[in-house]
Amino acid sequence: MTTSSPLAVEMRGIVKRFPGVLANDHVDFELRAGEIHALLGENGAGKSTLMSVLAGLYKPEAGTILVRGQPVSFNSPRDATARGLGMIHQHFTLIPSQTVTENILLGLDEPRFFMRLKAYDQRMAEMSQRFGLQITPHVKVWQLSVGEQQRVEILKMLYRGVDVLIMDEPTAVLAPQEIGELFKTLRAMVAQGKSIIFISHKLNEVMAIADRVTVLRLGKVTAAGLKTSETSIPELARLMVGRTVLFDLDKKPQEPGVVVLQLEGVCADNDKGLPALRGVSLTVRAGEIVGVAGVAGNGQTELAEVITGLRRCTAGRILVNGEDVTNRPASVTIHKGVAHVPEDRTHVGSAPTLSITDNVIMKSYRQPPLARGWALDGKAARQKAETLKVEYTIAAPTVDTPARMLSGGNLQRMILARELSSRPQLLIAMQPTRGLDVGAIEGVQRLLLTQREQGAAILLSSEELDEIFTLSDRVIVMYSGEIAGEVHGHDAETVGLMMTGAKRM
């Protein structure tokens, strides 16, 4: 990757306007052949828009695109693919009931009539081998994990002869070990002459995988083609947010109070009916944040669900403020002051077509002032929503806006507004900052610390170890449905070993 490498893609003065927003304001972008180029920026900075222009999804209002020096104009993603440009979106476009091979062949001219799947399976296997992608071609897509599905998407693009692969936040849906796998694949692809554009807002990932980075802020380029070897995380953060981001939060030392949450030998099954929690015992005190570290899928989700009454507890006891809430319905735990920021914002935490008002009253509509006997006080609900919208800076035209119109950060703020405004005694926060940009992360973390100061007991699960260490008073590590141990202080190495099951206490 010397500076003399030819340009694979050159974008000049791209302007793309959406109603009310200038998503790309005269953006220039250069991709060299054989490099991994990160496109960094906060949510709404215009990264995805720029790349959708490149992939033929949008037409820009102004600007030119050159592919290997040739000016191009794309009318559809098909045109872009023909020129060797392919984009993998955050939300996959696979058909679950079909096999890997069938998904890859979908929409292609060959095979014409007879599928001859066996022969194509063979080809897919060869191809995946070449790029170090572990895929079984004849398996149905619904049987695959998210990481595997992403590999299918990559293979789909490779099969179409794509030279420039655009990946829109590919790590957002992956577990840490899958991220490692993905990075290996990306490196293997670059080694074979492909170029990759990696859209992300995660600084450490950008530093780890990219050769160069272009930073966008509010639709404009703030840094073009910086070498990652010549920059630093704080500098990138500043370029991205436009101000210096404090990575150290002001956490006051404070003595924890009474035990709010107590788990005694709790067991539960996962959705497939296999044991997910095997005898988990823990306590969380008032005014204390207990961090739960662990690789995704080691029981964290089930732990949150069993505490909040969303999952059956097969053995053991759960006490909230000394009261047994084991296998009581979710409405009981809500009433006992247990708030829950769920992992899955869109599918669990919100109702997409209902208004912000209807979304923020989800937990409080049973009690006065919102409830008046059987009836619901619409005015009081609206009032509450208006207040929370201001207090938590939820950016939306009105409180009647449907939740699906909110961006990721605003949706999370809406959920936090709902959960925190009830003054919870116990807060179960699952991945509260996942997918948010740096500025938003800081805000969410501050909110959690404020809750702690106000005496809430907080159980925090996060895949970002840094976040766990910054916020938590104690850290417990979950491995394979059990608590592998508890760590005090910033001991990343021990936690890492426990997370992989190499060490136990």
Partner 1 sequence: MATQATSPVKSPAFPFRLRFERRVEVPPPWLGPAVSVGAIVIALLLGAVVLRLVGGDPWAAYRHIARAAFGDIGVFSDTLVKATPLILTGLACSVAFRMKLWNIGAEGQFFAGALAASAVVLAPYVPAGAPGWIAIPAAAVAALIPPTAPGWIIIPAMLVAGMLGGALWGFIPGWLKAKLRVNEIITTLMMNYIVIALVNFFVFGVWSEGGFQMSRTFQKAAWLPRLADFATQVKAFRGLTTHLGLVFGVIAAVIVWYILYRSRWGYEIRLIGDNPRAADYAGINITRNTVLVLMTSGALAGLAGMSEIAGVVHRLQTSISPGYGFSGIIIAWLAKLNPLVVVPVSILFGGLILAGREIQPSGVPRLIQGIILFMLIASEVLMHYRVRLVRAGAEE
Is the sign of the CA dihedral 106, 108, 111, 114 positive or negative?
positive
Q: Does position 18 bind partner 1 by CB under 8 A? A: yes
- Please pick, from the candidates 24, 222, 300, 401, the single residue that binds partner 1 as defined by CB under 8 A: 401
Q: Supply the DSSP string of 57-78, one letter for each residue.
A: SS--SEEEEEETTEEE--SSHH
Q: Does position 342 bind partner 1 by CB under 8 A? A: yes
The Cα–Cα gap between 284 and 320 comes to 10
Q: Does position 454 bind partner 1 by CB under 8 A? A: no
Q: Does position 330 bind partner 1 by CB under 8 A? A: yes
Q: Does position 366 bind partner 1 by CB under 8 A? A: yes
The stretch near partner 1 (CB under 8 A) out of 198-206, 214-222, 372-380, 491-499 is 372-380
- Please pick, from the candidates 329, 393, 395, 450, the single residue that binds partner 1 as defined by CB under 8 A: 329
The stretch near partner 1 (CB under 8 A) out of 124-132, 142-150, 282-290, 339-347 is 339-347
Q: What is the 3-state secondary structure (H, E, C) of 280-324?
A: EEEEEECCCEEEEECCCCCCHHHHHHHHCCCCCCCEEEEEECCEE
Q: Does position 333 bind partner 1 by CB under 8 A? A: yes
The stretch near partner 1 (CB under 8 A) out of 127-135, 181-189, 340-348, 386-394 is 340-348
CB of 305 to partner 1, least distance (A): 9
Task: List the interface residues with partner 1, window 293-312 (CB under 8 A).
Answer: 308-310
CB of 125 to partner 1, least distance (A): 28
The stretch near partner 1 (CB under 8 A) out of 73-81, 95-103, 124-132, 295-303 is 73-81
CB of 147 to partner 1, least distance (A): 21
Q: Does position 93 bind partner 1 by CB under 8 A? A: yes
The Cα–Cα gap between 56 and 401 comes to 30
Q: What is the DSSP letter of 406?
A: S
CB of 266 to partner 1, least distance (A): 19
Helices (H), 75-175: 77-82, 100-105, 117-130, 146-159
The Cα–Cα gap between 304 and 306 comes to 6
Q: Residue 39 is inside which H or E element, if any?
A: strand 36-40
The Cα–Cα gap between 190 and 218 comes to 30
Q: Does position 358 bind partner 1 by CB under 8 A? A: yes
- Please pick, from the candidates 228, 350, 433, 462, the single residue that binds partner 1 as defined by CB under 8 A: 350
Task: List the interface residues with partner 1, window 462-481 (CB under 8 A).
Answer: none
Which of 286, 320, 293 is closest to 306 using CA atoms? 320
Q: Does position 353 bind partner 1 by CB under 8 A? A: yes
Query: What region does 44 belong to: left with phi over 0, alpha with psi -120 to 50, or beta?
Result: left
The Cα–Cα gap between 253 and 246 comes to 19
Which residue do the tokens 């106000």 mark? 454
Token pair for 67: 């592919």
Contact 92, 153 (CB under 8 A): yes
- Please pick, from the candidates 7, 173, 188, 354, the single residue that binds partner 1 as defined by CB under 8 A: 354
The two most distant CA atoms of the chain are separated, in Å, by 74
The Cα–Cα gap between 196 and 85 comes to 10
The stretch near partner 1 (CB under 8 A) out of 69-77, 108-116, 181-189, 420-428 is 69-77
- Please pick, from the candidates 58, 131, 392, 479, the single residue that binds partner 1 as defined by CB under 8 A: 58
The stretch near partner 1 (CB under 8 A) out of 179-187, 354-362, 435-443, 494-502 is 354-362
- Please pick, from the candidates 6, 20, 273, 489, the single residue that binds partner 1 as defined by CB under 8 A: 20
Contact 40, 201 (CB under 8 A): yes
Q: Does position 180 bind partner 1 by CB under 8 A? A: no
Those residues whose C-beta lies under 8 Å from the C-beta of residue 270, and which sit 6 or more positions away, are 276, 302
* Count of residues of this chain found to bind partner 1 when the rule CB under 8 A is applied: 51
Q: Where on the chain is the footprint of partner 1 (CB under 8 A)?
A: 18-21, 52, 57-59, 61, 73, 75-77, 89, 93, 308-310, 329-334, 340, 342, 347-354, 358, 361-363, 365-366, 371, 374-376, 378, 397-398, 400-402, 405
